[in-house]
Amino acid sequence: MTTTFTLPELGENIEMGTVANVLVSPGDSVTKNQSIVEVETDKAVVEVPAPADGTILTVHVKPGDEIRVGDAIIAFDEAGDGASAAPAPAKETPKEEAAPPLATPAEPPAPVEAQGANGGSQPGEYAPTDPTRSVAAAPSIRRFARQIGVELAQVKLPVGQKRLTMDDVKAHARNMNTTSAGSAPRGVAHAADPLPDFSRWGEFHREKMHTIRRRTAERLSTAWATIPHVTQQDKADVTDLEKFRKQYGPRAAAAGGKLTATAILVKTLASALKKFPQFNASADMESLEIIYKHYYNIGVAVDTDRGLLVPVINNVDTKNIVEIAVELNELAERARNHKLTLEQMQGGCITITNLGGIGGTSFTPIVNPPEVAILGVSRSSIEPVYKDGQFVPRTMLPLSLSYDHKIIDGADAARFTRWICEAIEQPFLLFLEG
């Protein structure tokens, strides 16, 4: 039997990706769950497995192609039916339209036709002012619409299309921006000004954003537009901590890790979340509820050649610092080698981003939703500190805590940051309160 295999759902909030590698060719025999293509999403490179045993007849994609959930990948002859004729080439999905996603039982039925503005019926398109209209859309699209302040009932459905796509929501948001008389809708930024003609000043060239960079730009723009950011600055005296790191660094190295300030801060953050549960939370603005988490997973930002990736160390409260150092080293290597899985980048409670290896005295990191805080770390330096009646040289580590002011007040952020500093300066505090 000849079967056309389409791109399945790759994970939550993932609607499309870029083909990184094609692992099969026409005529190849494949077995069920054998990897046939690698797709780079905004978070990781995902291997797509074959759905059954068979022989490849046609490959519909090539490296560099952008594909959406539901787009054709291969046509193959399932084992036991070698007499099937080769299929006709799959019809390509136009770039401006999203392919229909795979059906799921939980999805609502497609809406019925609505009345047009003149009282007649216009199939597949709805008046944007109809608040009672039933909307068919994937959960990830509903979530995205909530984040940017778009009411799905106001989004027009193109003629002949039964479900709203991410592009429909974005187009509606852009239209809201450009037609707004002066104020932007909640959570939606004004459209960017058009770019000038750069050739007036000299030569230039263009490079297409790869998937991770494009998604990072979109996600951070949404985070900045929907989260009222405030950043709390503080400094920790790490003079004694540096002696500790040098003394016990070989023990972590023998286990396969590196005893860095980041590894120690990951453990400290888990204890801080227990002390201050409002930082281990998420805001549900649709139901006006705060979700408090009872697990302690810490995301760590990793700089890679394709942009910033954030692998997550799970259950940090159950691991010692050496175990965290080993896992952190392994995840960082996987990130730089494009081997992170989606599961390794999900479920974080708070994120830490360390720029100390590059430089700088402080910065304002952007919160990674649905988290409510992120801790930035800058380069330590030796400074004069007044202690015991005199100025003495001490190694000071700058910390920058950005937080969601919807959930966290400034006083709580100051207490949280100061507690982290004191826990680094006096590790016994972790045993007392951590």
Question: Across 132-146, 208-222, 326-340, which has the greatest mean pLDDT?
Answer: 326-340
pLDDT in tens, 74-113: 988 886 544 444 444 444 444 444 444 433 344 444 443 3
For the cut 70, the answer to whether the pLDDT of residue 290 exceeds it is yes
Other beta carbons within 10 angstroms of residue 12's beta carbon come to 11
**Letter for the amino acid at 77?**
D
Distance CA 131, CA 153 (A): 6
Distance CA 61, CA 51 (A): 17
- pLDDT in the model for residue 112: 38
pLDDT in tens, 312-363: 999 999 999 999 999 999 999 999 988 888 889 999 999 999 999 998 999 9
DSSP state letters, 71-106: -EEEEEEETT-TTPPPPPPPPPPPTTSPPPPPP-TT
* Of 7-16, 104-113, 126-135, 357-366, minimum mean pLDDT range: 104-113
* Of 190-199, 255-264, 411-420, minimum mean pLDDT range: 190-199
What are the catalytic residues?
A: 405
Q: In percent, how much of the chain has pLDDT > 90?
A: 43
For the cut 70, the answer to whether the pLDDT of residue 181 exceeds it is no
Distance CA 411, CA 232 (A): 10
Distance CA 231, CA 367 (A): 10
Q: Provide the pairing of β-strand 302-304 with 390-404.
A: unpaired
For the cut 60, the answer to whether the pLDDT of residue 285 exceeds it is yes
- Asked if 157 and 165 count as a contact pair (C-beta separation under 8 A), the reply is no
- pLDDT in the model for residue 3: 84
- pLDDT in the model for residue 76: 83
- Based on C-alpha coordinates, what's the Rg of the chain? 26
Q: Tell me if the pTM is above 0.85.
A: no
pLDDT in tens, 262-283: 999 999 999 999 999 999 999 9
Domains defined for the chain, CATH in brackets: 2-78 (2.40.50.100), 130-181+211-226 (4.10.320.10), 230-433 (3.30.559.10)
Higher pLDDT: 393 or 188? It is 393
